[in-house]
Amino acid sequence: MTKIPFTKMHGCGNDYIYVNAMLHEVPNPSEAAIAWSDRHKGIGSDGLVLIDKSPVPEADFSMRIFNADGSEAMMCGNASRCIGKYLYERVYQKDEIRLLTLSGVKTLKLHVNHGIVESVTVDMGEPILEDETQFVASQSLGRGTFVSMGNPHYVIFTDDIDQVGETGRILECHPAFPQRCNIEFARVEADGSIRTRVWERGSGITQACGTGACATAVAAALTGKAGRTSQIVMDGGILTIEWRETDNHVYKTGPAAFVFDGEINL
Domain with CATH 3.10.310.10 in the chain: 3-124+254-265, 128-248
The pLDDT assigned to 255 comes to 96
The pLDDT assigned to 176 comes to 82
Which pLDDT tens digit goes with each residue over 236-249?
999 999 999 999 99
Which pLDDT tens digit goes with each residue over 179-219?
899 999 999 999 999 999 999 999 999 999 999 999 999 99
| Residues above pLDDT 70, as percent of the chain | 95
Spot the catalytic one: 12, 82, 181, 209: 209
Query: Taking 70 as the threshold, does the pLDDT of residue 153 lie above it?
Result: yes
Spot the catalytic one: 76, 82, 181, 214: 76
Active site residue 209: yes
Q: Return the CATH number of 128-248, one of 3.40.50.2300, 3.40.140.80, 3.10.310.10, 1.10.40.60.
A: 3.10.310.10
The pLDDT assigned to 97 comes to 97
Confidence label for 142 from pLDDT (cuts 50, 70 and 90): low
Question: What is the three-state SS of the chain?
Answer: CCEEEEEEEEECCEEEEEEECCCCCCCCHHHHHHHHHCCCCCCCCCEEEEEEECCCCCCCEEEEEEECCCCEECCCHHHHHHHHHHHHHHCCCCCEEEEEECCEEEEEEEEEECCEEEEEEEECCCCEECHHHCCECCCCCCECEEEECCCEEEEEECCCHHHHHHHHHHHHCCCCCCCCCEEEEEEECCCCCEEEEEEECCCEEECCCHHHHHHHHHHHHHCCCCCCEEEEEECCEEEEEEECCCCCCEEEEECCEEEEEEEEEC
Q: Return the CATH number of 3-124+254-265, one of 3.40.47.10, 3.40.630.30, 3.10.310.10, 2.60.120.10.
A: 3.10.310.10
Mean pLDDT computed over 67-90: 95
Which pLDDT tens digit goes with each residue over 208-239?
999 999 999 999 999 999 999 999 999 999 99
Query: Taking 70 as the threshold, does the pLDDT of residue 66 lie above it?
Result: yes
Which pLDDT tens digit goes with each residue over 12-30?
999 999 999 999 999 999 9
Query: Taking 90 as the threshold, does the pLDDT of residue 46 lie above it?
Result: yes
Active site residue 214: no
